[in-house]
Amino acid sequence: MYCFTPAVQGTPIFPRNSKPKSNNSTNRKEVIFLLQKCKHISHVQSTHAKIIRNGQEQDPFIVFELLRLCSNLNSIDYASKIFQRIQTPNVFLYTALIDGFVLHGSYFDAILLYCRMIDDSIVPDNYAVVSALKACGFQLALKLGREIHGQVMKLGLCSNRSVKMKLMELYGKCGELEDARRVFDEMPERDFVASTVMMTSYLHHGFVREASAVFKQVRRKDTVCWTAMIDGLVKNGEMNWALEVFREMQMENVKPNEATIVCVLSACSHLGALELGRWVHSYMGKYEIKLNHIVGGALINMYARCGDIDKVKKVFDEMNERDISTYNSIIAGLGMHGKSIEAIEMFRAMLNNGFRPNSITFVGVLNACSHRGLVELGFEMFHSMVKDYKIEPRVEHYGCMVDLLGRVGRLKEAFSFISRMKTTPDHIMLGALLSACKIHGNLELGEKIAKTLLGCDKADSGTYVLLSNVYASSGRWKEAAKVRAEMKKGGIQKEPGCSLIEVNNEIHEFLLGDIRHPQKEEIYKKLKELEKRLRLTEGYSPKTDVSLHDIEDRQKQWALSIHSERLAICYGLISTQPHTTLRVVKNLRVCNDCHSMIKLIAKVSRRKIVVRDRNRFHHFENGICSCGDYW
pLDDT tens column, 352-396:
999 999 999 999 999 999 998 999 999 999 999 999 999 999 999
pLDDT tens column, 517-543:
999 999 999 999 999 999 999 888 876
Distances (CA, A) of 625 to 375, 394, 573: 22, 32, 19
Cβ neighbours of residue 178 closer than 8 Å, sequence gap 6 or more: none
Give me the torsion for CA of 246, 252, 255, 256, rounded to 10°.
Answer: -10
Q: What is the pLDDT confidence band of residue 264, given thresholds at 50, 70 and 90?
A: very high
Averaged pLDDT, 452-470: 77
Averaged pLDDT, 308-331: 95
**Given a cut of 50, is residue 459 above it in pLDDT?**
yes
- At 458 the pLDDT is 66
> Distance between the two ends of the chain, CA-based, in angstroms?
60
Mean pLDDT of the chain: 88
Pairing of strands 617-621, 609-612: antiparallel
Q: What is the CA radius of gyration of the chain?
A: 31
**Given a cut of 90, is residue 452 above it in pLDDT?**
no
pLDDT tens column, 247-257:
999 999 999 99
Pairing of strands 582-586, 609-612: parallel
Averaged pLDDT, 59-70: 90
Domains located in the chain, CATH noted: 1-8+25-189 (1.25.40.10), 393-495 (1.25.40.10), 498-625 (no CATH)
**Helices 223-235 + 239-251 axis angle, to 10:** 170
One-letter amino acid of 436: A
Q: What is the pLDDT confidence band of residue 293, given thresholds at 50, 70 and 90?
A: very high
- At 555 the pLDDT is 52
Distances (CA, A) of 82 to 67, 192, 357, 575: 7, 40, 39, 72
**Residue among 384, 346, 349, 391 nearest 364 (CA):** 346
Give the other-Cβ count within 10 Å of 483's Cβ.
Answer: 20
The number of helix segments (H) and strand segments (E) in the chain equals: 32, 6
Better-predicted residue by pLDDT, 268 or 74: 268
Kindly report which listed range (338-347, 484-493, 533-542) carries the lowest average pLDDT score: 484-493
Averaged pLDDT, 172-194: 90
**Given a cut of 90, is residue 269 above it in pLDDT?**
yes
Secondary structure of residue 121 in the 3-state scheme: coil
**Given a cut of 50, is residue 23 above it in pLDDT?**
no
